[in-house]
Amino acid sequence: MALSNSRPNGNATVAARLQKELMDIMTKPTPGITAFPDDENMTVWTATIDGPAETPYADLVFKLSMEFAPTYPYVAPTVLFKTPIFHPNFDFSGRICLDILKDKWSAIYNITTVLLSLQSLLGEPNNASPLNGQAAELWDKDPAEYKRLVLARHKAPEDLDA
């Protein structure tokens, strides 16, 4: 009984929470990242991350999708890279291997902290548990080839939908 009652309540909470996050992002934008809801029900957002300077991803912009369950923030959002990316911890479908999006998710994280974590992961991959083994290997062995593959795979956001 209590549970069925709390379902709609949970949706109201997630909407309120996402509204608040949107307000924070609009009023205090963080350089290098953007995020905005796709539609008015706010459960799907599109975000962008600028590649950090002095990394193979410098001057590149990456587009991501973020999907929020009704139980957010008590479960992690589902985050996917929409821009094709060559990186040890992201696979070719854009799936992400990052502990804070899995079992280490905490309700105190938010959209901004997730995007900042992904941004720092671009420059500091976790090569111990790669999704993309080739990238993990080349990261240390052959930075030039790594950079070439990053650029070969990358597409500018405006070309994505075409």
Partner 1 sequence: MADDAYMPADEDYAHLQKLSSEYAPEATGPLVGERQSSAAITTQYATADPVYRVKTAALPAKYAYFRTCRGDGHCGWRAIAFTYFEALLRVGDVGKFEDEEARLNSLGNLLAHIGYSRDIWIDFAEEAFELLRKLAHSLRNMDGQAAEILLQTFNDTSESMAIITYVKLLASAWVQTHSDDFMHFVPMGDVKAYCANNIEPTQCEADNIGIAALAEALVKPAGFGLEVWYLDRSPGEEINRSFHSEPTDHHHVPIPNAPMLRLLYKPGHYDILYKAGDVPRVHHQPPPPQQSLHVALANSFDDFQPTASNVADVMTMIPGMYPTGLGQRWPSLSYDFSPSPASCAQVTPIQPYAPVPTPITPVSTSHLDFVTPIHSGHTSQYNRPSIHSIHLDQPPVTLPIHPPPPPVSIDRAAPIGLERGGPFRPSMYELEPGFGSSMQVQPFQTSIFRNSHFNTAHYMNPDFEPEQWCPDGDYSNGNKGRHKLQSS
In order of 63, 85, 123, 162, the CA distances from 51 in angstroms are 11, 11, 8, 22
- Quote the CA–CA distance of 136 and 128 in Å, as a whole number: 8
- Output 24 or 137, the one with its CB closest to partner 1: 24
Catalytic pick from 69, 97, 98, 100? Answer: 97
- Pairing type for strands 61-67 and 78-81 reads antiparallel
Question: Which of 107/151 has CB closer to partner 1?
Answer: 107
Catalytic annotation present for 97: yes
Cβ closest to partner 1, residue 2 vs residue 152:
2
Residues in touch with partner 1 (CB under 8 A): 1-3, 5-7, 9-10, 12-13, 17, 20, 71, 73-76, 103-108
Q: What minimum distance in Å lies between the beta carbon of 72 and partner 1?
A: 10
How many CB atoms within 10 Å of residue 41? 10
CB 133 to partner 1: min, Å: 16
The least CB distance from residue 16 to partner 1, in Å, is 9
**Sequential DSSP letters for 42-56:** -SEEEEEEEPPTTST
Please list the active-site residues: 97
